[in-house]
Amino acid sequence: MRRVGRVMIAAALPLVAGATAARAQLAGIPVYFNPSGGTGVGVAANLGFPDKNSGGGTAYGVAGSIGAGPVTLTGTVGAWSPKSFSAQTSLGADLAYKVFGGGLLPLAVGVQAGIGQVKAPVSDSTTATRTTIPVGVGISLDVPLFPLKPWIAPRVEFVSGGGVTASSFRVSAGVNFNLLLGLGVHAAVDWGKVPSKLNPATPNSLIWGVGAHFNFHVPMT
């Protein structure tokens, strides 16, 4: 029985190491990074709580990702319910590349670029399409066999909407808590400047997010 138990644990460890939070750029949800990458297919459910400078309300979404070697592709769909406005559909996708680290190394570095789009409310009867393109680099601490995986990722964000284009600097940071067999939970905070041309009265904004994820590996032939 002890031998069987050791075999089961050994089989589960690669899944724990590869369990990651699927992520993409969605309105009202932090931009999640996974610098250590990972192979296989993943799904995630996310909740976001933007402050009033970010539009307020609540956001939610589901994400799917596929990783092969150092590359991970993610797509997301969700909705953002700003305060005093009806829910707005939000779409996102991103491409991440692990530069180095992961596996048995305690540190990983990756780069990521994405795109997100949402019908942002302008007034009670008017909306404008807002497109966001985040480009950044992430660093994660990946201690082998330790279930908590903290990460931090500074980025530049390009935003356009209503005929106006602007850029801003933002930072997201979070932690993944990976359980056995690919299941885990995650949380993150996203902070930075609101593009001044789009909203000069609110120079900073904050978004909190929580969620759950599940990853399973696909046999490679």
Query: Greater confidence, 219 or 142?
Result: 142
Taking 80 as the threshold, does the pLDDT of residue 179 lie above it? yes
The pTM of this model reads 0.82
Query: Greater confidence, 173 or 4?
Result: 173
Taking 50 as the threshold, does the pLDDT of residue 12 lie above it? no
The whole-number pLDDT of residue 146 equals 83
| pLDDT (tens digit per residue) in 21-59 | 444 578 899 999 989 887 889 999 999 999 988 888 999
Instruction: Out of 21-30, 81-90, 133-142, 155-164, pick the least confident.
Output: 21-30
Mean pLDDT value across residues 176-199: 85
The whole-number pLDDT of residue 102 equals 75
- What structural domains and CATH numbers belong to the chain? 2-215 (2.40.160.20)
- Tell me the three-class secondary structure of the chain, residue by residue: CHHHHHHHHHHHHHHHHHCCCCCCCCCCCCCCCCCCCCCEEEEEEEEEEECHHHCCCEEEEEEEEEEECCEEEEEEEEEEECCCCCCEEEEEEEEEEEEEECCCCCEEEEEEEEEEEEEEECCCCCEEEEEEEEEEEEEEECCCCCCEEEEEEEEEEEEEECCEEEEEEEEEEEEEEECHHHEEEEEEEEEEECCCCCCCCCCEEEEEEEEEEEEECCCCC
| pLDDT (tens digit per residue) in 96-106 | 999 998 778 88
Mean pLDDT value across residues 129-158: 91
The whole-number pLDDT of residue 191 equals 95
